Structure formats: C-alpha cells, structure tokens
Amino acid sequence: QHGRVKVKTTAQQEEEKRKEREKKLKIYVAARDACFAKRKEEIFDDEALQLTQQLLSSNPDFATLWNYRREILLHLETVKDENEVQKIYEAELSFLESCLKVNPKSYGSWHHRGWVSARLPRPDWARELGLCDRCLSLDDRNFHCWDYRRMVVKVSGVSVEQELGFTDRLICSNFSNYSSWHYRSTLLPLLHPECPEQASPHLCEEQLLKEYELVQNAVFTDPNDQSAWFYYRWLLGRGMWAVVCHEQMLGGAEVHPICDLPPGTIHDTTNEHNLTVHWTEKHNHRECALYTGTVWHAGNKLSKHSFLQEHEMVLLLCRSELSVEKTSVLQSELLSINQLQELEPLNKWCLLTIILLMRALDPLGYEKETLAHFQTLKEVDPKRSAYYSDLCSKFMIENTILKMEYAEVRVFSISDQNLTTLCHLDQLLLVTHINLSSNRLQRLPPQFAMLQCLEVFEADNNSIKSLEGVYCLPKLEEISLKNNKISTLADLQPLASCPKLTHLDLRGNPITQTAGVESELAKLLPSVTDLQL
C-alpha cells in the first residue's frame, strides 16, 4: 500500500526481542564467569571493577559481586593516595545511584552504599540525605532507605529538630506512614521531655497538646487509617513503667503469702504491665518484686512507700493503661473523639479509643458506656470479637478489683458479665471468696494458683473444661462448678493438690454421666466429704 508506514509485526518484534535477550544473556554469563575466575585468582584490578559494574548495573542483587567489589576497593585503598580513593568512592556512589534506579529495594546496593559512605575519606552527608529524600518521595515506605537514612543521620549528627521537621514534611504529604509516625515518637521525647533534667519517654504538656492536634487532623481526615490511631495511642501514654523495689519490705505483715507461690505461676505473661524491676539490694525473691516497691512514673514517685497497701497498688494498676495524669487534657480528647464518633458511629478505631480514654478518666463512672461500646465494636468488627471480649473481660475484672478495694473486702465477685478470660489474678492474692458464676470462661489458667488465700470458689454456669490452675491452693475448701464442661477425671486431677478441699459441686457436667465416677472421685479426692453430682 502506497505511502503507509510499515510497522513490524508482533511476531517480528518477539523474534527480535528473543535474539536480543539471548545476546544479552551470553554477554552476562561470560562476564560473570570472568569475574569468578578473577576472584579465584585474587586479581583486584580495574578490569574486575568494570566487569562487576557491568553485571551489577543490570542485576544489582548479586551479593557475591558486591563482595568482590569490596575486596577490590579495599585493595585499591592500600595502593592509592587519599584523593584517588576519594575519587574512586565518589564514582562508586554515583554507580550505586544507577543501581538503585534499577531496583530501589536492592539489599546489596543499599548495604554497599552504607559501606562506601563509611569508608569515604571526605563524606558528603548532605548529598546522602538528599538522595534519601528523593527515594522516600518516590516510595515513602522504602525501609532500606529508612535504614540507610538512620545511619546517615547518626553519623552526620543531624539535629533532632531537623529530623522532626523531616517527619512533619513526610506526614503532611501522606500521613499513612508508620515509619514517620514512629520516628516522631522517638524524636519528640528527646526534644520536648516532660522534665528537662531527666530523660523520660514522656512529653511535656505543651508539645503533647500540639501532637494531639496533629494526630486528630489525621484521624478526622481518614478515621480508617491505622497509622495515626497507633500514634494516638502512643500519645495517650502507653509508656514504660519502672518499679524500684526495696527488699527489706518483704517482711511486712501483709505480704506473707507471696513468698510461697508455687513455681510457674509468675512469669512474663502474668505481669501485664511490662514493669521493669530494679532491685536496690540483693535479689532473693524475684517474684515478690512485682508487689512491693516504689513505682517511678515519669520521674515522680507515685506510691511513696511501697505496694504494701493494696489500695494504692490497685489504683495504679487501673490507671496504668493511660499514663497522662492531666485529666483535663484527656477530658477534651474524649470530647473530640466523641465528636468523631457521632460522625462515624461504626468506626472501630474511634470506639476503641473512646473506651481507652474513658478507662483512663473514670473506669467505674463510664462502665456502662464502655460496655455499650464494646457491644458495638463486636458488631462492626466481628473478626476480632474474641479480642474485644477478652479486653472487655480484663476491664471488668479491673473494675471489680477497684470496687472490692473501695469496699475493703476480700470477696471478689463478678458474675453474669460475659467474662471470657481471667487476668490480674496477681491482684487478688489476699482474696478469700471468689464468685465467677454465669460467664463464658473455658479454663482456669495456671496463674489461678496464685490465689493462695482462696477459701471458697464458685464458677457455676461457665464453659470450663480445664482446671489446671486450681492446684496447690492451701486454703481452698469449697468449689462449685455446676453446669460446666468438665468431662473426664483427668480434668479434675489438679484438685488433688488442694489439701483442705472438702466441698465439690459438679452437677450438670458431662463427667457426671460417666459410670462409677463417684468411686473414682472418692479415690482421687479423698478429702472431699461433700460431693454433689
């Protein structure tokens, strides 16, 4: 056809491409073999440098070649003067830039860049920061770049203020960025500590308010974005706790049962507050440290003497979720998050934050609202309903402990509250009567064995299958487990270790259907005189 542009067909193009690829592969393989041969012979010359450069610029993830290259460069360092070395390394940096263009997430390239920057006689850190900024503007989640940048910042001594400004910039361009928010959380306490004399993980109030404003802008703009909510929770004071313990107080009258805890009842999971324990003197009874001592919070002694008085201890426990003491601040936060909730009634992050705020402010006063919010949470986020149930259980237990302590009784009763899990058992060491009836418990965990003063225990109408925690309880006399799911004799085995157990009610359990269960039980638990089946 006259005058038309003739264009190659797809088949022609394919064929050409295939040939091109074959040609490339041949060159690549030849170069690779040449490199390996040279390395074997320990030749560190310019040719080797060029060969590896050729290969790495098409495939920057070839770790062996980077190693070889470093060997060559180290050798060159020994034979060249400083200016020449500087030039070689500068060339290396610009070569690396081209590799990063091929693959911005190449482990080999970033690692090599770090190595080169560290060896460069006269490093240009400003240029490196510029490179990081460019990379992060293309992909603000490139963790290789974040890592490298941290190294550069550390070595070049970029000020904390500048770095905070850097996070400002990143967050403004896109706030869905965990890296930036987290970086912020590490910078702020350095720049605006709560008390200037002392390093602390907490912020001064003025800055804290500014941060609340910033993060609120984010959660109101996009309440479904997790990153900002996580930062918000950090702001609300999930800080670290430090406990300083004084060994001499162990002899106090009130702590008597603690020293004899059965082994295994106290371990990391028991302690839900990540307390760091510092012994001031010799450390004999490690476990006891959890219950005696002085809590330092943000440089202030919160409990002056010790935890000997349980009352103080409990108050602390329940406030520990949110360490910000300034109630007014929390109050206004609650107000604005409530505003958000009105606009977004089904947002789970919002609901959860409201619950946490309410607990920080007044756990008992907001109990009703908290429960209602938990109900909504389970409906809007059914995939995590078990988590919410456990969290709700935890809060209910905390509230019950509070009430119990206000009433100054040693009776712990929490029935018909949909409990799914038990926690804070370490707070119930002195309790003599426990009633957990009509909940949704499935097991009594090993930590239950901490309840060394327990005399009467009721847990009717649950779904308990396992009693593994009910062992070695020296004072336990009476257990009622009506309408649970205990089905085998083995399930009851732990009870055999409770010497004073006399009353046991197992009505409504599958085990009662087993033939000859009564005589078996009499054998297993000889001390029980009042058995109901």
Q: Which is nearer to another protein, 99 or 340 (CB)?
A: 340
Per-residue HEC secondary structure of 172-225 comes to HHCCCCHHHHHHHHHHHHHHCECCCCCCCCCECHHHHHHHHHHHHHHHHHCCCC
Total residues binding another protein (CB under 8 A): 24
Pairing of strands 411-413, 300-301: unpaired
Q: Which stretch binds another protein (CB under 8 A): 4-12, 158-166, 454-462, 513-521?
A: 4-12
User: CB of residue 333 vs another protein: minimum separation in angstroms?
Assistant: 12
User: CB of residue 221 vs another protein: minimum separation in angstroms?
Assistant: 5
User: What are the beta bridge partners of residue 478?
Assistant: 456, 503
Question: Contact between 343 and another protein (CB under 8 A)?
Answer: yes
Question: Contact between 218 and another protein (CB under 8 A)?
Answer: yes
Q: Which is nearer to another protein, 159 or 339 (CB)?
A: 339
Give DSSP secondary structure letters for 447-516: GGGG-TT--EEE--SS---B-TT--S-TT--EEE--S----STGGGGGGGG-TT--EEE-TTSGGGGSTT
Q: Which is nearer to another protein, 8 or 500 (CB)?
A: 8
User: CB of residue 10 vs another protein: minimum separation in angstroms?
Assistant: 10
Which of 28, 93, 77 is CA-nearest to residue 55? 28
Q: Which is nearer to another protein, 280 or 331 (CB)?
A: 331
Q: Which is nearer to another protein, 7 or 515 (CB)?
A: 7
Give DSSP secondary structure letters for 103-138: -TT-HHHHHHHHHHHHH-SS--HHHHHHHHHHHHHH
> Exactly one of 6, 282, 304, 368 binds another protein (CB under 8 A); which one?
6
User: CB of residue 17 vs another protein: minimum separation in angstroms?
Assistant: 11
Question: Contact between 137 and another protein (CB under 8 A)?
Answer: no
**Crossing angle for the helix pair 82-102 and 63-79, nearest 10 degrees?**
170
User: CB of residue 272 vs another protein: minimum separation in angstroms?
Assistant: 33
d(CA 354, CA 370): 8
Q: Which is nearer to another protein, 212 or 241 (CB)?
A: 212
N-terminal to C-terminal alpha carbon distance within the chain: 100
Question: Contact between 173 and another protein (CB under 8 A)?
Answer: yes
Residues in the chain: 533
Q: Which is nearer to another protein, 174 or 527 (CB)?
A: 174
Q: Which stretch binds another protein (CB under 8 A): 110-118, 125-133, 214-222, 493-501?
A: 214-222
> Exactly one of 110, 148, 166, 175 binds another protein (CB under 8 A); which one?
175
Q: Which is nearer to another protein, 14 or 84 (CB)?
A: 14
Question: Contact between 284 and another protein (CB under 8 A)?
Answer: no
User: CB of residue 219 vs another protein: minimum separation in angstroms?
Assistant: 8
Question: Contact between 8 and another protein (CB under 8 A)?
Answer: yes
Q: Which stretch binds another protein (CB under 8 A): 198-206, 210-218, 320-328, 524-532?
A: 210-218
Question: Contact between 527 and another protein (CB under 8 A)?
Answer: no
> Exactly one of 223, 237, 293, 363 binds another protein (CB under 8 A); which one?
223
Which of 204, 228, 230 is CA-nearest to residue 216? 228
User: CB of residue 351 vs another protein: minimum separation in angstroms?
Assistant: 15
Half-sphere exposure at residue 104, Cβ-oriented, CA atoms within 13 angstroms: 16
Q: In which residue are the tokens 């009499």 written?
A: 522
User: CB of residue 58 vs another protein: minimum separation in angstroms?
Assistant: 20
Q: Which is nearer to another protein, 74 or 172 (CB)?
A: 172
User: What are the beta bridge partners of residue 223?
Assistant: none
Pairing of strands 294-297, 300-301: antiparallel
Contacts of 231 (CB under 8 A, 6+ apart): 181, 182, 184, 185, 215, 218
Per-residue binding letters, 11-40, with another protein (x by CB under 8 A): --x---------------------------
Three-state DSSP at 47 gives helix
Site for another protein in 309-338 (CB under 8 A): 336
Residue type at position 440: R
Tokens of 531: 């058995």
User: What are the beta bridge partners of residue 479?
Assistant: 457, 504
Cβ-contact 93, 70 below 8 angstroms: no
Question: Contact between 221 and another protein (CB under 8 A)?
Answer: yes
> Exactly one of 222, 272, 379, 518 binds another protein (CB under 8 A); which one?
222
Binding interface with another protein (CB under 8 A): 2-8, 13, 172-175, 216-218, 220-223, 336, 339-340, 343-344
